[in-house]
Amino acid sequence: MKKILEELKATDRIAISGHVRPDGDCIGSCMGLFLYLKKALPGAEVEVYLEKPADIFSCIKGIEHVKTDCSADICYDVCIAVDTVSSRMGDAEKYFNTAKKTINIDHHISNASGCGMVNYVNPQASSASELVYELLEEELIDEPIAKAIYIGMVHDTGVFQYSNTTPHTLEVAAKLISYGFDFSGLIDETFYEKTYVQNQILGRALLESIVFMDGKCIFSAIDKKTMDFYKVVPKDLDGIVSQLRTTRGVECAIFMYQTGQQEYKVSLRSNGRVDVAKVASYFGGGGHVRAAGCTMQGTYHDCINNLSLQIERQLEA
């Protein structure tokens, strides 16, 4: 595989961006690449565009340089879409559409062919962060770069637990921790630690969850009113669907929160028998076999009815 610097020869202006509602992998991979390109190409202008990262990611060097405002019309020499297809980049998509050259670094099975002129797409990779690591010259990696990439890998593998973790993932992780950052502390701070209201709303979602299809599916929804009551934002709901998935006997967990009058953001998790990437793709979303998402219209009853039909089809097949 060609290293990323070979694709960036004689470029002055580079933009990096991930997907809307950025998760740990999205932020870690974008920031690792950002720090690396700033170092490797000191003469170039490098920008990273993301929606405001959660406070837990303030331990990543340079996070204060993240640009959240995409109103300026800039034509970049290169735009790099990381952990996403261009259609899920939000406001930064315009930089992808107008750039002279586009690069896509992604690991979603729903993005098989890539959306860039140059594509580094591997659904076998645990995370976009693991893919970014492959594209860097080892001698230029330093502690802050290693730490950002490591955080991304930790988040998308559930601390190296999910089935996307491969021997290669752990080899990369081993190299990364040799840079000497406090990996144990940052797993706690960025992955396990929750605020009081995050735990409260998790409790509420578990309490109100419903099992169906003979216990093979579990579902919970949080409406706008409840989110306002607890004063939580979507990032505070991360992890609820993973907790639902751990219920014994469950093959598929569904969590949704209200994003509009008749609109829900849906998260799906599978224990292996259901391909949730397929389910999410059917409704215009995407993701991985065991973790996927989409946005759906209608009441939450409509959403759950439509989803369960697709899930049932797979379980019966």
The site partner of 287 among Mn ion, ligand AMP, none (C-beta below 5 to 8 Å per kind) is ligand AMP
The site partner of 288 among Mn ion, ligand AMP, none (C-beta below 5 to 8 Å per kind) is ligand AMP
Cβ neighbourhood burial of 317 (10 Å; 0-12, 13-18, 19+):
exposed
Contacts to ligand AMP by CB under 6 A: 23, 88, 108, 110, 267, 285-288, 291-295
Per-residue burial over 57-72, b if 16 or more Cβ lie within 10 Å, else e, is bebbbebeebeeebee
Q: Smallest distance from the beta carbon of 84 to ligand AMP, in angstroms?
A: 7
The nearer residue to ligand AMP, 11 or 157, going by C-beta atoms, is: 157
Closest Cα partner for 162 from 11, 271, 287, 281? Answer: 271
The site partner of 205 among ligand AMP, Mn ion, none (C-beta below 5 to 8 Å per kind) is none
Per-residue burial over 260-283, b if 16 or more Cβ lie within 10 Å, else e, is eeeebbbbbbbbeebbbbbbbbeb
The site partner of 164 among Mn ion, ligand AMP, none (C-beta below 5 to 8 Å per kind) is none
Contacts to Mn ion by CB under 5 A: 23, 25-26, 83, 127-128, 156
Q: Smallest distance from the beta carbon of 289 to ligand AMP, in angstroms?
A: 10
3 state DSSP class of 214: coil
Taking CB atoms, the residue at the shortest distance from Mn ion is: 25
The nearer residue to ligand AMP, 114 or 287, going by C-beta atoms, is: 287
The nearer residue to ligand AMP, 23 or 236, going by C-beta atoms, is: 23
Cβ neighbourhood burial of 78 (10 Å; 0-12, 13-18, 19+):
buried
The site partner of 267 among Mn ion, ligand AMP, none (C-beta below 5 to 8 Å per kind) is ligand AMP
The nearer residue to ligand AMP, 201 or 292, going by C-beta atoms, is: 292
In the block, which residue shows the tokens 């950025």?
A: 22
The nearer residue to Mn ion, 68 or 178, going by C-beta atoms, is: 68
The nearer residue to ligand AMP, 147 or 288, going by C-beta atoms, is: 288
The nearer residue to ligand AMP, 111 or 308, going by C-beta atoms, is: 111
277 close to 287: Cβ distance less than 8 angstroms: yes
The site partner of 292 among ligand AMP, Mn ion, none (C-beta below 5 to 8 Å per kind) is ligand AMP
Q: Smallest distance from the beta carbon of 254 to ligand AMP, in angstroms?
A: 10
272 close to 288: Cβ distance less than 8 angstroms: no
Q: Residues with Cβ < 8 Å from 68, sequence gap 6 or more? A: 49, 50, 51, 52
Q: Smallest distance from the beta carbon of 256 to ligand AMP, in angstroms?
A: 10
DSSP codes, 46-105: EEEE-SPPPGGGGGSTTGGG-B----S----SEEEEESS-GGGSGGGHHHHHH-SEEEEE
The site partner of 88 among Mn ion, ligand AMP, none (C-beta below 5 to 8 Å per kind) is ligand AMP
